[in-house]
Structure 1
Amino acid sequence: MSDTVASRGLDALGFIAREGSHARVPLAFRPVVAAARDRLLDAFGTRLDSAYLNGSIPRGTARVGRSDLDLVVVLRSEPTGADRDAARGLGEAVDKEFPQIDGVGTLLFSRARVLDERERHDIGWFVACLCTPLLGEDLAEFLPRYRPDSTLARETNGDLALHLPRWRRRIAAAGDGEEALRPLVRFMSRRLVRTGFTLVMPRWNGWTSDLREMAEAFAGYYPERSEQLRRAAVSGYDPVGDRAVLRSYVDDLGPWLADEYARVHGEKSPRPEGWD
């Protein structure tokens, strides 16, 4: 395998290599990770099956005061409202205590869902390739290896069309202040860049979580839309609360991307109600 391919997040056999490790966590964020680990045990106790880090902190690219802490919590049964309240409270407490992070995001899943065949190329892939074990059993041991193919593209981001109406409602309901709009710009920018990247991922033949690298990979195949995705990558890292940006996402870039994605890879397989 060439150095070019090997450098694109693949191992020597062409599978997506697991990104992130505890060794890569920057020194400034290690107390944050330690506190989160302890509080996860306190918050979920025996209901906790496993927990993971993901995002820029375990990849070693986090920026002090700008990056958030991303956690994935896997429970022994389906998450309840009380579990979500506990996760929210934990995140607020850690965010308040540690100024080096800008928020905490926590995803909750059951063990059964992570290992469900229907989630094999979505949540399963996410845990196996993009998450760094923090507590409990590593469920990657029960999951396959993954290649950057069309099946993975379809099952990870082939549902953008379903999300656009929800995005429009969120934009309409949001206030006009920077604090209300900035998180929406960051969230939607990141989702669109990742969708644009996975659209071309099988042809690019690799994986990256760097938004700018994602946008450049996309640009090689869709030059007419390249500047839009490059700007979205910038907004994914340094968002400005601009309603016009959000409108451009749901009125132009998002619908085009959803249509092109369906044409190239098809639509994501249906999930049971409640599996958002």
Structure 2
Amino acid sequence: MSKKLALFSILIASLLVGCSVVPQFKQAREDYLETRVVEILSEMPTAEAQPTEKVIAETEVAATEEPVAEPTEEVTAEPTTETTEEATAEVTATEEATEEVSAESKGMTESYDPKVYLGDSDWEDKMTTVGSWPLGTDLSSATYENETLMITALSDKFSWRIASTGALGDAYIEATIKVGECSGADSYGIIFRVPENTGYNRGYLYGIDCKGKYSLRSWDGMTGASGVMTYLQEPTESSLIKTGSNQTNRLGIMAVGDRLVMYANGEKLGEVKDNMYSTGFFGIYLKRDKTADLTIYVDDVGYWKNPTIK
């Protein structure tokens, strides 16, 4: 009886204990499951992959944008500005150079060469056509050859050819003349202010010789048995004259009032004053000294009326 009672008491106690343990077991089980779920979720790769992709994407975009953005600013913005400034400077320099050339071409750069500062001539003959000069033979022979007027001395006397133009008053007369073989005082030049109705037997003679000397003479062929030749400018040497055989010189004489100004190759040689002749015709003369067949070739002659002396 006592044993049965004790066993029953133990059974009752076990049941009571079981009733209190079951809820604790359920709670422990739920806590365990919740903890495990959290651990499983935290260990899952999906949770970590998403931030990794975002970081990689941002890094790749940043790496792609930086090299493109920075060089574009450096190459496109700054060098273009510098290049534009340099190009502008070059254009400005070119414009200034053009203005300088234009200024010179307009005559703003002063020149003392009459052919330059007097502008277009009133008359010019480049010997491309026949008609302005008497040809034939007397004290010299004259003919056209290769677009030049060729004159050859046949005597040791002065000989000339007068242009078939009107008489001139104040004028600048210029002739480009090449001499062939020459020596000593073989000479050639311009005869001018030859008065009308005198048989071309008066006037002034300006010229140079083979030795490089220039002179100016007054000629009166109607006085005395053989005329009178007077030096107004004695033969004077000048480095402006090309000397010797086969040389070309550009001779010019400017007659304004009583002022007679001599030029060679665009440069002033000297000036004299004389009032014996004030108007007249002009032409080309030559006189041999050492060379029997002294020959000159005239390829450009012109005159300017009423010139200004500089």
TM-score by length of 2: 0.24
Tell which structure's C-alpha radius of gyration is larger.
2
User: By percentage of residues, which structure has more helix?
Assistant: 1
**Which protein has greater RCO, CA pairs closer than 8 Å, 6+ apart?**
2
User: By percentage of residues, which structure has more strand?
Assistant: 2
TM-score by length of 1: 0.26
